[in-house]
Amino acid sequence: MHNIKDIRENPQEFKKNLEDRFVDIKLEKILSLDETNRKFILSKETLEKQKKDISKSKDPKLFSKSKEISEQISKLAADQLKIKNELDDILKSLPNVALKDVPIGKDEKFNKEISKTGEIKKFSFKPKSHYEIGEKLKMFDFDLATKTTGSRFVFVKGKLAQLERAISNFMIDSHITNNGYEEISPPLMASDDTMYGTGQLPKFENDQFEIKLDEDSGRKFLIPTAEVILTNMVKNQILNYKNLPIRLVASTPCFRKEAGSYGKDTRGMIRQHQFYKVELVSIVDPINCLNELERMTNCATKILDDLKLPYRKIILSTGDMGFSAEKTYDIEVWIPSENKYREISSCSSCGTFQAKRMKSRFKNEANETKFVGTLNGSGLAVGRTLIAILENYQNEDGSIDVPEVLKPYMNNLNKITSN
RNA sequence: GGAGAGAUGGCUGAGCGGUUGAAAGCACCGGUCUUGAAAACCGGCAAAGGGGCAACUCUUUCCUGGGUUCGAAUCCCAGUCUCUCCGCCA
């Protein structure tokens, strides 16, 4: 959430920054609510001071006066709270401000390609889509998932299930051993305020699967990404600068309603309600956010290098970035059957935006309390990596070569064939 | 599911109606000492918000929400969470 103090000091700049993200900001409303709020606070505090003085004096003659003041205070407090809540509701739904080097544009058309890596393989036959390959191998079963569960789910079976697990294990091992991340096996559900902390609530409630444990307790949500639960590990904490950076990795299922993408990617497992993802999260001193973003993105692309999959790196435009992000790189992998690149990772710096929502702070070397910086990135989306391997490593007979680095995770299997 | 215990600052932990924003220790920051470090010693060290150009000052906060009282970390009620024991189950 944005600090109202910063807005107050530089309202026009704030307005412009959010307009660059194509957000309709009611600046006048915000400023007037803030002013009213402060007026209420001032009069409330004046009364509180009077009351405190009376109680300190211990003078019985003043006691009845104190009671009167109490009533006035509670009235003022109620009015003040109403204004404050109204103000907060507006602030809570405003996205983070983009950094200066982020291209301004209203949607993905304004994203900019930064680099292309790897060679696109020339097939001597027409490459099949991952779902054709998987179904032919009898290792993807979409119909069965429809029967047991519904649309946008899949059964992965046999060697492809093993391959999926191999991909996940290879990625985690790589991040642990080469990049210094700590592996976490987190809860797959998150509470209301946890979801708020990383920015999924209040604005994107419709994308989340809500869980009710019982009538009385608060609602919970299936995590749409491990980012939510990993980042919130430092919620409501004041860390020491010596503990930073914190680097976490987890491989978890992710659950998304995919509301608003009806009819999009309906075939295959590109867009599912449930998918595995290896997620990277960094908690850093905010002055290191940009370096960490580069580092994290490199951790993600290294996986694709090792898997020998062609990819490109793009920087998202202001309109295409996520709610909490200040700068985002997407990594897109080559999908032969579609003859184009598709997103396989998204790495974002959130600056102190999430930290302010979570109240995650640290003491710096000067012993001052500051908000931490948070970053998250996929390293990588496991389901989509499986897709990319199927398509890029396919042979004309429908078999799949196992990528070199995954063989140790597949009992040194060279090739996946039907039967 | 049954029976208890508890929730205090970055951490451990005192306080159980009135200079308690909160003892003490640890951690952290600054200093003395030292070639440097450690140890020892000295000093500092909660957060959020408001007012003020500033020095500074005020308010709130001892899990959350109500209540009692002139006054609550301290008493009462409700809730949340944690722990221990018993039962049940992976």
ipTM of the complex: 0.88
Nearest nucleic acid nucleotide to A45, CA to C1' distance: B59
Structural tokens at position A330: 């997407």
Question: What are the structural domains, with CATH classification, of chain A?
Answer: 4-92 (1.10.287.40), 108-416 (3.30.930.10)
Confidence at residue A217, expressed as pLDDT on a 0 to 100 scale: 63
CB-proximal positions of chain B, under 7 Å: 9-10, 18, 27-30, 44-51, 58-60, 69-71, 79-81
| Phi then psi dihedrals of residue A300, to 5 deg | -70, -45
Confidence at residue A65, expressed as pLDDT on a 0 to 100 scale: 87
Over chain A (419 residues), what is each successive 10-residue block's mean pLDDT? 91 95 93 95 92 87 86 90 92 94 96 97 96 96 95 96 98 97 92 91 89 71 95 92 94 91 84 96 96 98 98 97 97 97 98 94 89 96 98 97 98 93
Q: Between β-strands A189-191 and A155-156, what pairing exists: parallel, antiparallel or unpaired?
A: unpaired
Q: Does any strand B atom come closer than 7 Å to the Cβ of A340?
A: no
Confidence at residue A56, expressed as pLDDT on a 0 to 100 scale: 85
Q: Does any strand B atom come closer than 7 Å to the Cβ of A41?
A: yes
User: How far is it, in rounded angstroms, from Cα A335 to Cα A64?
Assistant: 78
pTM above 0.90, yes or no: yes
The single residue listed with the structure tokens 């070199």 is A404
Q: Tell me, letter by letter, the H, E, C secondary structure of chain A.
A: CCCHHHHHHCHHHHHHHHHCCCCCCCHHHHHHHHHHHHHHHHHHHHHHHHHHHHHHHCCHHHHHHHHHHHHHHHHHHHHHHHHHHHHHHHHHCCCCCCCCCCCCCCCHHHCEEEEEECCCCCCCCCCCCHHHHHHHCCCEEHHHHHHHCCCCCCEECHHHHHHHHHHHHHHHHHHHHHHCCEECCCCCEEEHHHHHHHCCCCCCHHHCCEECCCCCCCCEEECCCHHHHHHHHHCCEEEEHHHCCEEEEEEEEEECCCCCCCCCCCCCCCCCCEEEEEEEEEEECHHHHHHHHHHHHHHHHHHHHHHCCCEEEEECCCCCCCCCCCEEEEEEEEECCCCEEEEEEEEEECCCHHHHHHCEEEECCCCCEEECEEEEEEEEEHHHHHHHHHHHCECCCCCEECCHHHHHHHCCCCEECCC
Nearest nucleic acid nucleotide to A371, CA to C1' distance: B47
Q: Does any strand B atom come closer than 7 Å to the Cβ of A357?
A: no
User: How far is it, in rounded angstroms, from Cα A315 to Cα A310?
Assistant: 17
Q: Does any strand B atom come closer than 7 Å to the Cβ of A366?
A: yes
Nearest nucleic acid nucleotide to A57, CA to C1' distance: B70
Confidence at residue A266, expressed as pLDDT on a 0 to 100 scale: 81
